[in-house]
Amino acid sequence: MDQGSLEMWLHPTYKSNHHGPIKPRILTLYARISIGIDIAYALDYLHNQCKNQIIHCDLKPGNILIDKNMFARIADFGLAITLPEYPSMNLCSSSTGIRGTTGYIAPEYGLGCKMTTKGDTYSFGILLLEMLTGKKPTNRMFRGGLNLHNFVSLSLPDDVIKITDPLMKVMTSANKGDDKRVEDCLTRMYSIGLACSKTSAKDRPDMRDVLYELESIRNIF
C-alpha cells in the first residue's frame, strides 16, 4: 500500500539525510479514530456479513495497511479461519495450534478454548489501546502482572492525557485546541479498547456495536 503499514506510523524509525533528521509522519487523533473505524468495519464484515464467519487470527499493526487516501485495510489472511457451517466441528486452539502474534492473542486461546470471533475482538482492543498510547503490548514495562490493558485501566479517567502517545497530543493540540472535547474523546476510545480486550470472551462486545460507537465518536469530534 502507498502509505505503508500502521506499524510504521505508530512506531516510526527516525531517519536522516544530508539536510539533517527527517521528521517522522504522525497520525492525528482524528486519523486514528478513522483508522479504528476502517478496521472495525472490516471485522464486522468478516464476523457478521459473510456466509460463514471468518476469524482473521492475526490482527496487529503490521497487518494493517494504509492506502494513499489514508484508509486502512486488513491484510495477511494466512492464519485466517472460516468457521464451519456446523458448530460441532472441533476448532479448539489446542487442536489447531495457537494462531496469532504474542501480545495480541486472546488469553482463552492459551487455555485451549474454542476459537471464535471474540478472539479478533480482543486483538482489536489491544490494537486500539496501542494506537492511543503508542505502546506495544510487548513493551518491556509490561511485566510482573502489568499489561497494556491494566496500564490503561488503572489510568482512567484522571490520567487519560498522561498515558496518551505524546506525538499524537502535539498534533491534536495544534489542530483542535478544545482540550475538554479531546479528553472526552480519548476516554471513550480507551473505554472501547478496554471493553474489547476483557479477559473473558463473553464480556467482549460484538464488532458491529464497536463500529457504531466509534462512528458516534468521530461524528462529534
Catalytic sites, residue numbers: 58
Q: Report angle CA 174, 61, 188 to the nearest 5 degrees.
A: 55
Q: Are 72 and 38 in contact (CB under 8 A)?
A: yes
DSSP assignment letter at 62:
G
Q: Is the separation of the CB atoms in 205 and 121 below 8 Å?
A: yes
Beta strands 72-74 and 64-66, pairing class:
antiparallel
Q: Specify the amino acid at residue 185.
A: C
Q: Is the peptide bond before 61 cis (omega within 30 degrees of 0)?
A: no
Q: How far, in Å, are 73, 77, 210 from residue 38 at the CA level?
A: 7, 17, 11
For residue 109, the 8-state DSSP code is G
Task: Measure the CA–CA gap between 87 and 108, rounded to whole angstroms.
Answer: 18
Cα–Cα dist 174/28, whole Å: 10
Where are the extended beta strands (E) located within 119-164? Answer: none
DSSP strands (E only) in the chain: 15-17, 20-22, 54-55, 64-66, 72-74, 81-82
